[in-house]
Structure 1
Amino acid sequence: MSATDLAADHANDLTPGLIAALRPVLAAESAAEAAACGADPRDLEQAVWLRLLERLGADGPPPDPHRWLRGAVRAEARRVRRRDRAERPWRHEPADDAEREPEALALTAVRRRALRDAARRLPGRCPRLLAALLSAEDLTYREIAGELGISQGSLGPERARCLACLGRLLTAEVAARRGRG
């Protein structure tokens, strides 16, 4: 058995007990740091669990798990603060140019209407998520997550699934409209 396999087996043996011991500490630390950085505590928890699982697979459990956890929560909170400082909302959509030709504006309006109609036909939360993403209000991920009642960290994967579904729907519609031969 290699050293990597031995470390992985050791990590697997400790994972349930370690997770049970760290769960309340992580919840408390995440709640405290989330208030300071303006993040959802569940998003911080999710990010720290991911870091812990990556560490368990690579290096095994940390020597002092509680200390490591506090440091990991603070590091994630710093990452959220840096990201929030760097993000700037768009004032105007780059494609929205008031000086464009009327025909181009009409075609753009038709395409947007078709996109919104297709988005409304998607299953599950996709219609609400895409409506929020396409909103003229330029909502942040935090605002969208609050509106939909899901964690901010889940928006990216959910958005990817919805866009893939929308792409399949639109591809099928375009193929159905084209004549063959």
Structure 2
Amino acid sequence: MTVLDETPTPVHVVGALRYLVSAEATAEAPGASMEAGDLEQAVWVRLLEQLGGEGPPTDAARWVRAAVRAEARRARRKAARELPYRHEPSADPAGGPERAALRSERRRALRAAVARTPGNCPRLLTAMLSPHDPTYREIAGTLGISQGSLGPLRSRCLGCLRRMLAAEVAAPEHRGKER
């Protein structure tokens, strides 16, 4: 009488088939281009599903061999359908949707701060932030000021913007506390 002839529990089945599943998975894994442990785990999941529904297989050794081969075939089909990334997602220069959202939020905050600067600063800073990358001559012509006064005005505007952004970042919020 074997362990599987009694009313087996999942623990008995796993104990009795452990070495067989491991050996079959180790033999089939290279042909499926997968790790033996991954193949073995897929077979255990399949066996536990069977134990929950139909009960233990009548011929456990045959069932294990068939399950290992079926999982190996499934892995080969899956590998044939899937295409690898050209590069790792983490190596993506854009950095994925989270980084794109953060960049967008920073640009929005910067544009809002630029709009609050005094005098000619919003026009000057907007021109400087333009994706067209205008020259000093083009910016001076657009604003109607001399090219020589553009440097000092730029310096004052950037200083103002820097102070505004530093005050916004440094200002602590009262979280859960009343004033």
Q: Which TM-score applies when normalising by structure 2? A: 0.45
Higher gyration radius (CA):
2
Q: Which TM-score applies when normalising by structure 1? A: 0.45
Higher relative contact order (CA 8 A, sep 6+): 1
